[in-house]
Amino acid sequence: MITSLSEYESLLNSDDVEDRHRVARDSAPAEVWLKIISEMPKYRPYVVQNKTLPLDVLRVLAQDVDRDVRFTVAMRRAAAKDETIADLLASDSDAGVRAALAKNPKLRQTVLQRLAGDEDDWVRECAENSLAQRTQSST
Protein backbone atom coordinates (compact mmCIF):
# COMPACT_ATOMS: atom_id res chain seq x y z
CA MET A 1 0.00 0.00 0.00
CA ILE A 2 1.19 3.48 -0.86
CA THR A 3 0.98 5.66 2.24
CA SER A 4 2.23 9.09 1.19
CA LEU A 5 3.03 11.45 -1.65
CA SER A 6 6.74 11.07 -0.96
CA GLU A 7 6.51 7.28 -1.19
CA TYR A 8 4.58 7.54 -4.47
CA GLU A 9 7.14 9.95 -5.88
CA SER A 10 9.98 7.67 -4.83
CA LEU A 11 8.32 4.64 -6.48
CA LEU A 12 7.53 6.58 -9.64
CA ASN A 13 11.09 7.84 -10.03
CA SER A 14 12.74 4.54 -9.13
CA ASP A 15 14.84 2.58 -11.60
CA ASP A 16 13.51 -0.65 -10.08
CA VAL A 17 10.88 -2.23 -12.34
CA GLU A 18 8.99 -3.64 -9.36
CA ASP A 19 8.66 -0.16 -7.86
CA ARG A 20 7.21 1.12 -11.13
CA HIS A 21 4.71 -1.76 -11.15
CA ARG A 22 3.61 -0.80 -7.64
CA VAL A 23 2.73 2.67 -8.94
CA ALA A 24 0.14 1.08 -11.24
CA ARG A 25 -1.27 -1.59 -8.95
CA ASP A 26 -0.83 -0.72 -5.27
CA SER A 27 -3.72 0.87 -3.45
CA ALA A 28 -3.59 3.99 -1.32
CA PRO A 29 -6.12 5.78 0.85
CA ALA A 30 -8.25 8.30 -1.06
CA GLU A 31 -6.64 11.12 0.94
CA VAL A 32 -3.20 10.12 -0.36
CA TRP A 33 -4.37 10.03 -3.99
CA LEU A 34 -6.11 13.39 -3.60
CA LYS A 35 -2.98 14.91 -2.06
CA ILE A 36 -0.85 13.59 -4.93
CA ILE A 37 -3.11 14.95 -7.66
CA SER A 38 -3.63 18.31 -5.97
CA GLU A 39 -0.01 18.96 -5.00
CA MET A 40 1.68 17.28 -7.97
CA PRO A 41 -0.53 17.78 -11.06
CA LYS A 42 2.23 16.41 -13.28
CA TYR A 43 1.61 12.97 -11.73
CA ARG A 44 -2.06 12.83 -12.72
CA PRO A 45 -1.37 10.91 -15.97
CA TYR A 46 0.38 8.26 -13.87
CA VAL A 47 -2.15 8.22 -11.05
CA VAL A 48 -5.07 7.68 -13.44
CA GLN A 49 -3.40 4.45 -14.62
CA ASN A 50 -3.61 2.92 -11.14
CA LYS A 51 -6.17 0.10 -11.12
CA THR A 52 -7.21 0.59 -7.49
CA LEU A 53 -8.35 4.22 -7.53
CA PRO A 54 -11.46 4.93 -5.47
CA LEU A 55 -14.43 6.55 -7.19
CA ASP A 56 -13.86 9.83 -5.31
CA VAL A 57 -10.48 10.14 -7.00
CA LEU A 58 -11.84 9.16 -10.42
CA ARG A 59 -14.52 11.86 -10.03
CA VAL A 60 -11.80 14.48 -9.55
CA LEU A 61 -9.72 13.15 -12.46
CA ALA A 62 -12.80 13.13 -14.72
CA GLN A 63 -12.70 16.93 -14.47
CA ASP A 64 -8.97 17.28 -15.14
CA VAL A 65 -7.74 19.93 -17.56
CA ASP A 66 -5.66 17.29 -19.36
CA ARG A 67 -7.73 15.60 -22.05
CA ASP A 68 -5.59 12.46 -21.84
CA VAL A 69 -6.39 12.06 -18.15
CA ARG A 70 -10.14 12.40 -18.84
CA PHE A 71 -9.81 9.98 -21.78
CA THR A 72 -8.22 7.38 -19.51
CA VAL A 73 -10.97 7.84 -16.93
CA ALA A 74 -13.57 7.33 -19.69
CA MET A 75 -12.06 3.93 -20.48
CA ARG A 76 -12.25 2.75 -16.86
CA ARG A 77 -15.08 0.30 -16.21
CA ALA A 78 -15.64 1.66 -12.71
CA ALA A 79 -16.03 5.17 -14.07
CA ALA A 80 -18.65 4.12 -16.61
CA LYS A 81 -20.70 2.46 -13.87
CA ASP A 82 -20.67 5.64 -11.76
CA GLU A 83 -23.56 7.93 -12.72
CA THR A 84 -21.76 11.16 -11.80
CA ILE A 85 -18.62 10.33 -13.76
CA ALA A 86 -20.46 8.94 -16.78
CA ASP A 87 -22.73 11.98 -17.03
CA LEU A 88 -19.78 14.33 -16.68
CA LEU A 89 -17.73 12.59 -19.38
CA ALA A 90 -20.73 12.25 -21.71
CA SER A 91 -20.79 16.06 -21.78
CA ASP A 92 -17.02 16.46 -22.16
CA SER A 93 -15.88 19.10 -24.65
CA ASP A 94 -13.52 16.60 -26.29
CA ALA A 95 -15.10 14.17 -28.77
CA GLY A 96 -12.35 11.62 -28.11
CA VAL A 97 -13.30 11.44 -24.45
CA ARG A 98 -16.97 10.99 -25.34
CA ALA A 99 -16.07 8.31 -27.92
CA ALA A 100 -13.97 6.42 -25.37
CA LEU A 101 -16.90 6.51 -22.97
CA ALA A 102 -19.25 5.25 -25.70
CA LYS A 103 -16.96 2.24 -26.22
CA ASN A 104 -16.93 1.39 -22.52
CA PRO A 105 -18.81 -1.90 -22.07
CA LYS A 106 -20.04 -0.95 -18.58
CA LEU A 107 -21.72 2.30 -19.64
CA ARG A 108 -25.41 2.58 -18.76
CA GLN A 109 -27.81 2.19 -21.66
CA THR A 110 -29.36 5.64 -21.10
CA VAL A 111 -26.00 7.40 -21.41
CA LEU A 112 -25.12 5.33 -24.46
CA GLN A 113 -28.39 6.32 -26.12
CA ARG A 114 -27.66 9.97 -25.37
CA LEU A 115 -24.22 9.60 -27.00
CA ALA A 116 -25.89 8.00 -30.03
CA GLY A 117 -27.40 11.46 -30.61
CA ASP A 118 -24.09 13.30 -30.14
CA GLU A 119 -23.18 16.19 -32.44
CA ASP A 120 -19.94 14.46 -33.43
CA ASP A 121 -20.12 11.74 -36.12
CA TRP A 122 -17.39 9.63 -34.52
CA VAL A 123 -19.04 9.67 -31.09
CA ARG A 124 -22.40 8.77 -32.63
CA GLU A 125 -20.82 5.91 -34.56
CA CYS A 126 -19.07 4.54 -31.46
CA ALA A 127 -22.30 4.72 -29.46
CA GLU A 128 -24.36 3.13 -32.23
CA ASN A 129 -21.81 0.31 -32.57
CA SER A 130 -21.90 -0.31 -28.82
CA LEU A 131 -25.69 -0.36 -28.83
CA ALA A 132 -25.68 -2.81 -31.76
CA GLN A 133 -23.20 -5.09 -29.96
CA ARG A 134 -25.40 -5.12 -26.87
CA THR A 135 -28.42 -6.01 -28.98
CA GLN A 136 -26.52 -8.88 -30.61
CA SER A 137 -25.26 -10.13 -27.25
CA SER A 138 -28.75 -10.22 -25.77
CA THR A 139 -30.22 -12.30 -28.62
Q: What residue ranges do the domains of the chain occupy?
A: 1-53, 58-139
What's the pLDDT at 137? 81
* Phi/psi at 76 (5° precision): -75, 130
Q: How far is CA 116 from the centre of its chain?
A: 20
Span 58-139 CATH architecture: Alpha Horseshoe (1.25)
H helix and E strand count, the chain: 11, 0
**Helix, strand, coil percentages for the chain (3-state, nearest 5):** 70, 0, 30
Enter the pTM of the model. 0.94
Give the residue from 102, 86, 8, 90 showing the smallest Cα distance to 46: 8
pLDDT for the residue numbered 45: 98
Does the pLDDT at position 118 exceed 80? yes
| Residue of 4, 64, 5 lying closest to 39 (CA atoms) | 5
CA distance linking residue 50 with residue 11, whole number of Å: 13
CB 74 within 8 A of CB 87: no
Phi and psi, residue 117, nearest 5°: -105, 15
| 64 close to 44: Cβ distance less than 8 angstroms | yes
Tens digits of residue pLDDT in 2-36: 999 999 999 999 999 999 999 999 999 999 999 99
45-102: pLDDT as tens digits: 999 999 999 999 999 999 999 999 999 999 999 999 999 999 999 999 999 999 999 9
Average pLDDT of the residues of the chain? 97
- Does the pLDDT value for residue 138 go beyond 90? no
CA-CA-CA-CA torsion sign (61, 67, 70, 76): negative
